[in-house]
Structures are given as structure tokens and as C-alpha cells.
Chains A and B, each alone.
Chain A
Amino acid sequence: MAVILRTDHLNKVYRLGSLARSREVRALNDVNLNIESDHPVIVSVVGESGSGKTTLAKTLLRLVEPTSGTATIYDKTIAGKGIHPPKREFLASVQPIFQNPFEAFSRYRPVDAYLQETASRVAGLGRDAATDAVIKALASVGLEYADVRGKYSNQFSGGELQRVSIARALIPNPSLIIADEPVSMIDASRRMIIINLFRALKEEARRSFLYITHDLATAYYISDFVAVMNRGAVVEFGTAREVMSDPQHEYTKLLLNSIPTTRSRWRTRPTLASA
């Protein structure tokens, strides 16, 4: 079995304030995850703001260096003190999708330029092969190249642009895609298009996903495994079904009880006489 994602005593400490009055924030506190599988998986990381889930994503994307510990993705150690995997090889195996697609693409540059650049620089393709890869990637997220070509980010809706950014991430054929709150900016009615796309890409294109979210319902819907984070530590980890239907940790229970469902009410509301 391949190690899809492993973190070994991963720590990240941020220092805030001046030298004399500095304060430490443990963004990651001894995070140990181990996910092994022969098949691609979707792993959700859930928690509130400040729980360290975005720091974990940034560490795995090599955007921040951990204070101690190591991280392994698909049997390759990619993060840790003094670990420098070859950049292009790393980018071709791990790709990000960020929360706000309008911030991910410049307003002054057509979005297909980003796709072309990813194809030529990261995937190392020639011009014609690059265009073919862009067309293929866009098709796999349900978009036509002709509809995207030459357009700027403000000409798309949030959901469409997020699909373009997923297409961009797919171009170098990464084995793991790290999606940091990919649907929180998208209208509730169109969120499921993106979520179902992740599931289809896992099954058909055989990509693994690390889905970072505070939306527990969508995490339950698509993931194989769920890690619950609180104050920098993973407080509960298991298969999505286990964690969500039989939570062990108090914090997981608190999160689950705070979801506004349409099943049972937190408290009864007085019903008004009709107008």
C-alpha cells in the first residue's frame, strides 16, 4: 500500500510581536496523520478558524516550513527542516486550489494564460501539447476551451472560475490536490457541482484530495477519512462515517451539534398566528 499522506510529529510555531515581547502561537501541535491506501482517497480536515487547518495545507504545499517534523506525500518526504524536493517534480505531484478564485487569478490577465503556463512550465509540455492538456483539463471539469479562451476572471461566475482553477490544478496530473475551503465562496445551490466534481475526479481520474473545510456536511458527503483539528492538534481521526456518526471527542460533538440542520431544531420557535 502506498502512503498517500503521512505527517510525523509536525509542528509549526509562529512568533508574534517584537523581539522583547514575543508571543508564540502553536499553529500545528504535533500533528500525526497516516493515510495508506491502494486507491485514491478524499481526506477532509475540519475545524474552526484558527484550528491550524490552513497552516497544515500550507505546510504540505511547502508554502511554510514546519518548525519540526516531516510530511510525506505518496511515499516522498516533501516537507521538513532541510528537505528540498525538486521544485518541478513537487509541483507536478501536489497542486493547490484556494478559497477565493477571484484572488487566485489576476483581473488583468486572461485566465487561460495561467493554464497554458502551468502546462508548459510545470508539466513541461510543448506549445501544442500544452494546449491539448488545457483543453482536456477544462473538459474534465465540464468547461469548453472556446468558452474560456481569452476571458478575464471578472467574466466568470464564482462557481465557473473555481472550476477553471480546478482545471489548472489538474494539468500536471498531480497525485494529490489540496483544496483549502474551495466552496465557501460559492452559492449554496452550486456548491454541489464542485463537490460532485471532486468525487468524479477521484473515481475517474484517480486523484486524491485533501479537502479543508469548516462545512461538516459536505465533508461527510465526499470524504473517506476525516481529521478534526482544534488548536493546532488533530483531536479525532477516522473514516468519515465513524467520526461523524459516532464522535468520540467533545470538540467533534460540539462541531456536529452546531450545524444548522433541517432535521431537528436547537430550540422550539413559537409559531405565529397567520397574517
Chain B
Amino acid sequence: MIRLKNVVGSYRTSRGSINAVDDVTIDIPDGCILGVAGESGCGKSTLMKLIYGDIVPPMTLSGGSIEYGFTDERGAPVTSANITRQWFNRIAYIPQSSMNSLNPVVRVGSQFLDFPGPDRDKRRVLETVKAYIVKLGLPVETLDAYPHQLSGGMRQRVMIAMATFFQPQLILADEPTTALDVVVQKDILMLLMDVQEEMQNTIVLVSHDMGVHYQTTSRMLIMHAAKAVEYGDSESVFASPLHPYTGMLINSLPTIGDDRAREGIPGRPPSLWQSLEGCRFADRCPLATARCRAEEPAQLDHRPGQFAACHYAGETPEKRGETKWR
């Protein structure tokens, strides 16, 4: 279990400090694929960096704590203070557009050897790498290729192979399929699911495509303007979303065979520079009342393991999901 407690991630700039992740408290159960959704600028990628422990100025973890639920070599619990020692071995990160971060002048095989693994014998490591990439459905010749000789889908598969080579307990994947075509995207997502099923590790998957989340995740976290607005089992989040934002995200894009007009979500998340009062979604919400504008909604459990930060969440969830915003 990974526990995030009141996590605040801020960026300090000459204009002052803003919280890109504001007071996020969630428990991520072991062995699940957690989907993180929300629009650009809602704090998804910052949350990934905080969990990975890649905290470098101007970003800081200015409040709260993260417990990873596993211990280091000396038996001390791993927290955000010492997670960086676990990079590659226990926790892996596939950043956004990472397939472009392969070194263009080094063959793929040699790049595998750059990781600080326990085995010092390079030839033996290379043999293991070969066996592993074949298992992931890549041809052996991939290791002799330079990155530019591979297609985008192959490069992304190489990145997944690198990230999962040491069988980490936690994999963070930030928009792993955004630049890819639908057919390749499906292959990559299936690969991630296969890897997770076999290793039984935890994957945190960031995407703004709710279809991708529906296909792959077992739990969902919805973020809006740096806040966690809904968190729960994917099944119930998709079937009857508690927060209006979740429902709008799910229904914002058209589906084939459905001719209803789609409007997207009106407005945009509020700027984090201004002082924010009440619910941050109030200005975009068709159901907002005076209470929403004055009083910030608390994260309340509405069903076991599913919370939403909305004053009117769960009152008439069925109605909300279906009639109010198609």
C-alpha cells in the first residue's frame, strides 16, 4: 500500500509560490493499475514527480508525506526522503514523451547496460536483456539498432522494457501512449497490463483519455486544479461518477454510433495564482450553488473506498451521471 498523506507540491518562482498539487490524500492498494485523469495543468505530472521522488527546484514537497509500504536494504521504511535510492530497482518512471529520450548515438542494447543493476557482468546482463525483450514481443535485433531506426511504438516498448527490467514494485507511466496511433496504443496498453498481471506490481498511469483509463485501470483518481476531486474503483467511477467533473470528462468526447452533440467542458481550470475560495470547479459546474462558491468541499467517502470532493456528490448519482450532462 502506498499512502499519500496531505501531499502538497509547489513551484517556487520569482512571482511567488503556487501549489500544483494541493493536499492530496490517497491510499494506493498494491497490485492495481491506478489511472490519473484531468485536463492539462491539473497537477497530474507534478503528482507523478512527487511520487517518484524527483523533487528538484523549483519544485518542492512543501507538505505532507508519502509512504511506499516497502523497506530499504537496512529495513527502514521507504519514504519520500529516501525513495531516490530505490530508483530503477523498486520504482520506475516512464516520463511523458520518454521514447524521445533514448540516446540517439548509442545502440539500444548498450543503453540497457547503463542501469545500475546488481550484476556487474555485462555479457550476462545482455543475455537477460535479450530474453526479456523477446518476452515483451520485440525482435532481438532491436538491441543492435539505434533509436532512430525504430518506430515510435517500438521505442515506447523499449522504454517499457527498460522501466520494468528490474521488476519494480511501482511503475509510474506518464501519458505512455499519447503520441501513438490507436493500433499501437492498444498494443502498448495490453503490454503494460500483461506486465502488471505477471509481476503483480502497481502501475500509476496518467492519461487524459478516459477511454484508455476505462480499458486499463482498476482504480481512478480524478484531479482538477491541483486537487483530488474523486478517487475510487474504476468500475463505480465510470458507472456512476460522484463528482460532476468526472461525469463531464467521461462524456466530453464522442463515441462511434452515438450521434448526440458533445460540447466539451466549458471554461478552463482556474489560475492557481489567484486566491481560490470555495469549490474550484464551481465556475464550470452547471449545478453550482452559492454554497459551492463560498465553502470548499471536503473529501468525503460516499461509498467504501470512493471519495469525492463535492457538496452534492452522491445525492442523486444516477441522475447526475446520465441526465444532467448526457
A interface, CB within 8 angstroms of B: 48-49, 157, 187-193, 195-196, 214, 216-218, 220-221, 244-245, 254-263, 265-267, 269-275
A214 touches B257 (CB 8 A): no
Complex: how many Å from CA A200 to CA B31?
A: 47
Closest to B214 in A: A262
Interface string of B152-171 (1 = CB under 8 A from A): 10000000000000000000
A260 partner residues in chain B, CB cutoff 8 A: 182, 185-186, 189, 209, 211-212, 214-215
Complex: how many Å from CA A218 to CA B265?
A: 16
Q: B250-270: which have CB < 8 Å to A?
A: 250, 252-257, 261-265, 268
B305 touches A275 (CB 8 A): yes
B54 partner residues in chain A, CB cutoff 8 A: none
Complex: how many Å from CA A269 to CA B31?
A: 12
B215 touches A265 (CB 8 A): yes
Q: Among B11-19, B76-84, B135-143, B216-224, which stretch is in contact with chain A?
A: B216-224
A157 partner residues in chain B, CB cutoff 8 A: 268
A244 partner residues in chain B, CB cutoff 8 A: 256-257
Listed from nearest, the 6 A-B pairs whose CB atoms lie closest are A274-B305, A260-B211, A192-B264, A221-B254, A48-B181, A189-B265
A255 touches B250 (CB 8 A): no
B253 touches A258 (CB 8 A): no
Given contacts A196-B263, A272-B218, 12 further A-B contacts (CB under 8 A): A187-B40, A188-B208, A188-B249, A189-B208, A260-B182, A269-B33, A269-B216, A269-B217, A273-B29, A275-B1, A275-B28, A275-B305
A216 touches B215 (CB 8 A): no
A265 touches B262 (CB 8 A): no
B181 touches A266 (CB 8 A): no
B218 touches A270 (CB 8 A): yes
Find the residue from B1, B189, B248, B255 having the highest chain A CB count within 10 A: B255
Find the residue from B28, B235, B256 having the highest chain A CB count within 10 A: B256
* Number of residues on chain B facing chain A (CB within 8 A): 52
Complex: how many Å from CA A109 to CA B190?
A: 45
B interface, CB within 8 angstroms of A: 1, 27-29, 31-33, 39-40, 152, 181-186, 189-190, 193, 208-212, 214-219, 233-235, 238, 248-250, 252-257, 261-265, 268, 304-306
B210 touches A272 (CB 8 A): no
> Quick one: which of B189, B250, B254 contacts A220, CB cutoff 8 A?
B254
CB within 8 Å: A-B pair count: 128
Complex: how many Å from CA A196 to CA B208?
A: 20
B39 touches A187 (CB 8 A): yes
Can you list 12 contacts pairing A with B, beta carbon distance less than 8 Å?
A188-B252, A217-B255, A218-B253, A245-B256, A254-B183, A255-B183, A258-B183, A260-B182, A260-B215, A262-B238, A274-B233, A275-B27
A192 partner residues in chain B, CB cutoff 8 A: 252-254, 262-264
Complex: how many Å from CA A261 to CA B304?
A: 27
Q: How far is the CB of A55 from chain B (nearest CB, A)?
A: 16
Q: How far is the CB of B150 from chain A (nearest CB, A)?
A: 13
Complex: how many Å from CA A259 to CA B256?
A: 10
A256 touches B208 (CB 8 A): no
Complex: how many Å from CA A259 to CA B212?
A: 9
B257 partner residues in chain A, CB cutoff 8 A: 220, 244-245
Complex: how many Å from CA A262 to CA B37?
A: 14
Q: How far is the CB of B30 from chain A (nearest CB, A)?
A: 9
Closest to B306 in A: A274
A245 partner residues in chain B, CB cutoff 8 A: 256-257
Complex: how many Å from CA A196 to CA B265?
A: 13
A217 partner residues in chain B, CB cutoff 8 A: 253-256
A191 touches B253 (CB 8 A): yes
Complex: how many Å from CA A258 to CA B306?
A: 30
Closest to A46 in B: B182
Complex: how many Å from CA A251 to CA B268?
A: 37
Q: How far is the CB of B148 from chain A (nearest CB, A)?
A: 13
A188 touches B304 (CB 8 A): no
> Quick one: which of A195, A258, A267 contacts B193, CB cutoff 8 A?
A267
A193 partner residues in chain B, CB cutoff 8 A: 264
A188 touches B182 (CB 8 A): no
B264 touches A189 (CB 8 A): yes
A190 partner residues in chain B, CB cutoff 8 A: 39, 264-265, 268
Complex: how many Å from CA A267 to CA B189?
A: 11
Complex: how many Å from CA A214 to CA B153?
A: 15
B27 partner residues in chain A, CB cutoff 8 A: 275
Complex: how many Å from CA A220 to CA B250?
A: 18
Q: How far is the CB of B160 from chain A (nearest CB, A)?
A: 17
A254 partner residues in chain B, CB cutoff 8 A: 183
A265 touches B214 (CB 8 A): yes
A261 touches B214 (CB 8 A): yes
Complex: how many Å from CA A98 to CA B234?
A: 36
B254 partner residues in chain A, CB cutoff 8 A: 192, 195, 217-218, 220-221
> Quick one: which of B29, B190, B234, B305 contacts A266, CB cutoff 8 A?
B190
Complex: how many Å from CA A96 to CA B1?
A: 51
